[in-house]
Structure 1
Amino acid sequence: MMFTDDTTEALLAAVALVNSAEPPDSFDLDAFLRDYPYTGRIDRDDAERRDLRALRPRLRAMLLAPRDDMAAEVNDALADVRLSPRLTRHEGTDWHLHAVADDHPLAERILVETAMALIDVIRAGEGSRISVCADDQCHAVALDLSRNRSRRYCSTTCANRNAVAAYRARRAATV
């Protein structure tokens, strides 16, 4: 296993939140929480949605930063929040670390969980697993959790679009 389950989940949630910026105002908080169930305080109000939308550029910068810059971004994120780390387990997950109290705003908890996950990425030297989608028309973040480091696209849609384009280009070249 490359990363622990909580690290993987935090990275997947951060990438999903960042990638929800396109198209603008398409963010569906309920769908996000179904896919990435966070424990603790969840307000589901306009302020929380606004805070999560506002968090996306910061998460994108953290995720795509070169290693040393990523470390600085992580340190900044951790310095911005009052930390109260504790081990916890809940809803079928084994022991893992919650770095802030459950009553903190969701955007703050996502920021800190992303920072904590990026600590593992930095320490393992695995920053190359986070990149911009290889589709020239897409600017989404791609997270490669494959064993052989083969994932280049943010989604199956982008991968399929490029595979079809490559196939058509090869066919056109043979005609």
Structure 2
Amino acid sequence: MTGQVDFDSHSSVVTQAALALMNDVSPGHRRGRPFSAPEDLPEAVAQAIASVNPKWNELPDAAEAAKLVGWAVRLHAAITALDAGDVDGACVEVNRVMREAGALPTLSRHDGEPWHLHFHAVDAPWAESWASSMATGLAIVLGNASVERLGICNAPACDRAYLDVSRNGTRRFCCTACQNRVKAAAFRARQSG
């Protein structure tokens, strides 16, 4: 990871988990096509979290998954507001999610790991623990000089979120597929022009 931005290991993981969850469950557009929330929310939630935290292997129940998806949709709306230049609106919504989910910084040691910071009470319910962690991770980015690295994909018909952790800070797409779609369209436009 030399040269990449890393806010700290735990906040980076929960921020990446928030983005993965938002991108995998928030309705809207993805890679040029309409996108609906998956029917099997517990599986989609588990896969999104596991994509950034390989140690994760729990499957939430349907009610907890639906609750977390609701918060993920709200966090996605905050990033959309940020991308549109409404930093205040984004921060207000992230603060609301942190407050409603009961965000509470707590040093914790479990599973043979050293002490590390969690963003929820030790006894927080499952969805609240993830929502407060994800919102706090995003709050760290929003309150950081690197806030311009957080945004919505620049590809047409895609509203998935990204966080640029590269050295040069030039990422503007949610994935390589969207970046390639834009480059291919620009190439075709040049060839026909």
Q: Which bin holds the TM-score, normalised by the shorter protein?
A: 0.7 to 0.9
Whole-angstrom distance in 2 between the partners of 1:157 and 1:93: 36
Distance 1:164 1:93 in 2: 46
Q: For residue 57 of structure 1, what is the aligned residue in structure 2?
A: 73
Query: Does residue 10 of structure 1 match 2:26?
Result: no
Q: Contact conserved, 2:101 with 2:129, CA < 8 A, in 1?
A: no
- 2:105–2:120 CA contact under 8 A, matched in 1: yes
Which structure has the highest strand share of the two? Answer: 2
Report if the CA contact (8 A) 2:98-2:135 is conserved. yes
Provide the aligned length of Structure 1 versus Structure 2: 172
- CA gap 1:108/1:39 in 2 versus in 1, 3 angstroms: farther
| RMSD over aligned Cα atoms | 2.8
CA distance in 2, matches of 1:103, 1:168: 56
* Structure 2 CA distance for aligned equivalents of residues 55 and 95 of structure 1: 27
SS of 2:120's equivalent in the other structure is: coil
The answer to whether the 8 Å contact 2:17/2:49 transfers is: no
1:100 paired residue among 120, 140, 150: 120
Say yes or no: does 1:161 pair with 2:177: no
**Counterpart-to-counterpart distance in 2, 1:139 and 1:122:** 19
Could you say which residue in structure 2 is the equivalent of 1:31?
Answer: 47
Give secondary structure in 2 for the equivalent of 1:169.
helix
For the residue of structure 2 that corresponds to 1:12, the secondary structure is helix
**Equivalences for 1:60-99 in 2 at 5 Å?**
60-64=76-80, 65=82, 66-90=86-110, 95-99=115-119
Amino acid at match of 2:73: P
Question: Helix, strand or coil: the match of 1:138?
Answer: coil
Q: Distance in 2 between matches of 1:112 and 1:85?
A: 10
Could you list the per-position Cα deviations for residues 88-123 of structure 1 after superposition, in whole angstroms to 9, with x for gaps in the alignment?
355686543112234423321222112322332233
- Contact kept, 8 Å, 1:39 with 1:102, in 2: the verdict is no
- Structure 1 equivalent of residue 130 of structure 2: 110
User: Between the two proteins, what is the percent identity of the paired residues?
Assistant: 31
Contact 1:59 1:111 in 2 (8 A): no
Q: Deviations over 1:23-64 (max 9, x none)?
A: 323251332232144989x56221122212222221112334
Mapped to 1, the partners of 2:45 and 2:101 lie a distance apart of 23
